[in-house]
Amino acid sequence: MTDRRTTTDGVPGTTPPRPGLRRSTAAGHPAARPAPHEVPRPLGAPRVWPRTFADRLTAPLPGLATLVRAARQGTLRPAPGTMPGPGELPVVREPLPPAGAGTTTVTWAGHASWIVRTGGLTVLTDPVWSDRILATPPRITPVGVPWGDLPEIDAVVVSHNHYDHLDLPTLRRLPPDTPLFVPAGLGAWCRRRGFTRVTDLDWWETAELPARPADAGTVRFGFVPAHHWSRRTLTDTCRSLWGGWVLTGPAGHRVYFAGDTGYGHWFSQIGSRHPGIDLALLPVGAYAPRWMQGTVHTDPEEAVRACADVGARRMAPMHWGTFLLSGEPPLEPLHRVRAAWAAAGRDRADLWDLPVGGSRALP
């Protein structure tokens, strides 16, 4: 790949004791203070991060007792009678739409994996092309776009390190000089695995890549907060940050990829700092049971509220219909998000409830 410089769900286990968990607030949380997010960070610059980001949590984490309770109740997976029959889950096979410097398109590959084409670049979000991930059944729908049908990948954004969002077998399909944009504290993990152009950002920081053609401007990658957490092993809880990404193309199109998140105050702040979001890619699945998942995964009704909070005109649901991570019936998120969108009085054309493999272009 040519050199492009910039200008300036988890593993089961116990939750370690953490004294003094405090709730983030706009006034009191360090990451909520005004930040120079207008000045992009250099690509790949070495950073020094704190040992833990546990102070960024907005709710206590589930411990072993919570997981045992859910397992005993049989609520970690959908009931057998709720599984859809053949052909009920929406899947299409179609070519990627054309993309140029002045256009923005999105294609849902499944779960939280999107192919975002903006400013002439092709960007993958949380790419998981594997058939299965750790401790979960195989995917129930195929990947929306076969790997061999993808164009050259110009960049990857990762929201956090849970296995259904950070899939090493998929990342290893990429050239090692592919630009990776990852949360604070995750850069070292990527570099140890051979990636040479890794930029890890704190909340509200940004970085840029030149668009194609280069004289068209830049594509900006802004890292924003989420109500979630991180862990890949039993000893690295919250050692790296978690969040979402706002991608802004040179034509002014702005796409918000929420990653994994519960509902809360961050959405309105994201909308305030990144006004004019054209499309919000929001999670609507993995929400049952609510007593376990409510603080870290939005349900469909909360996702519609979050779309309004960030000020996005359009919403594309994700994080459903791919991996069985929780207890709701696999098709329920789609039905509920459609009903919630209608109840909110939103224009039906602005709900991009795409099938796996489906694409849409921003006007």
Query: pLDDT of 126-176, one tens digit each?
Result: 999 999 999 889 999 999 999 999 999 999 999 999 999 999 999 999 999
Residue % of the chain over a pLDDT of 70: 90
Q: Higher model confidence: residue 6 or residue 339? A: 339
Residue 13: Cβ-neighbour burial (10 angstroms; 0-12, 13-18, 19+): middle
Quick one: pLDDT at residue 69? Answer: 81
- Whether residue 285 is predicted with pLDDT greater than 70 in this model: the reply is yes
Other C-beta atoms closer than 10 Å to the C-beta of 35 total 15
Whole-number percent of the chain with pLDDT over 90: 81
Residue-level pLDDT at 264: 98
Q: How far apart are CA 6 and CA 220, in angstroms?
A: 9
174: left (phi over 0), alpha (psi -120 to 50) or beta: beta
Chain-centroid distance of CA 331 in Å reads: 20
Task: List, for residues 16-59, the tens digit of each pLDDT value.
Answer: 333 333 334 333 333 333 344 579 999 998 899 999 999 999 99
Model pLDDT, residue 70: 74
Task: Write the pLDDT tens digit of every residue in 314-354.
Answer: 999 999 999 999 999 999 999 999 999 999 999 999 999 99
Asked if pLDDT for residue 11 goes beyond 70, the answer is: no
Residue 303 predicted with pLDDT over 50 = yes
What per-residue confidence (pLDDT) applies to 66? 77
**CA–CA distance, 341 with 315 (Å, rounded to integer):** 9
pLDDT of residue 216: 92
What's the rounded Cα separation, in Å, for the pair 321 and 142?
Answer: 10
Contact partners, residue 155, CB within 8 Å, separation at least 6: 121, 123, 124, 178, 179, 180, 181, 209, 219, 221
Residue 29: per-residue pLDDT = 36
Assign 201 to helix, strand or coil.
Answer: strand
Among residues 140, 145, 132, which one has the least CA distance to residue 106? 145
Name 87's Cβ contacts closer than 8 Å, sequence gap at least 6: none
Nearest to 240 by CA among 46, 38, 50, 30: 50
Cβ contact 177:197 at 8 Å:
yes
pTM of the model: 0.89
Angle at 243 between CA 129 and CA 220, to 5 degrees: 85
Mean pLDDT across the stretch 289-316?
Answer: 96
Edge to edge, what strands does the sheet with 206-210 contain?
206-210, 218-224, 244-248, 254-257, 279-283, 314-318
In the predicted model, is pLDDT for residue 245 greater than 60? yes
Is the bond into 225 cis (omega within 30 degrees of 0)? no
Return the residue matching tokens 């849409």.
360
pLDDT tens, residue by residue, 176-188? 999 999 999 999 9
| pLDDT tens column, 215-226 | 899 999 999 999
Q: Of 307, 266, 265, 267, whose CA–CA distance to 284 is shortest? A: 307
What number is the average pLDDT over the span 81-89? 92
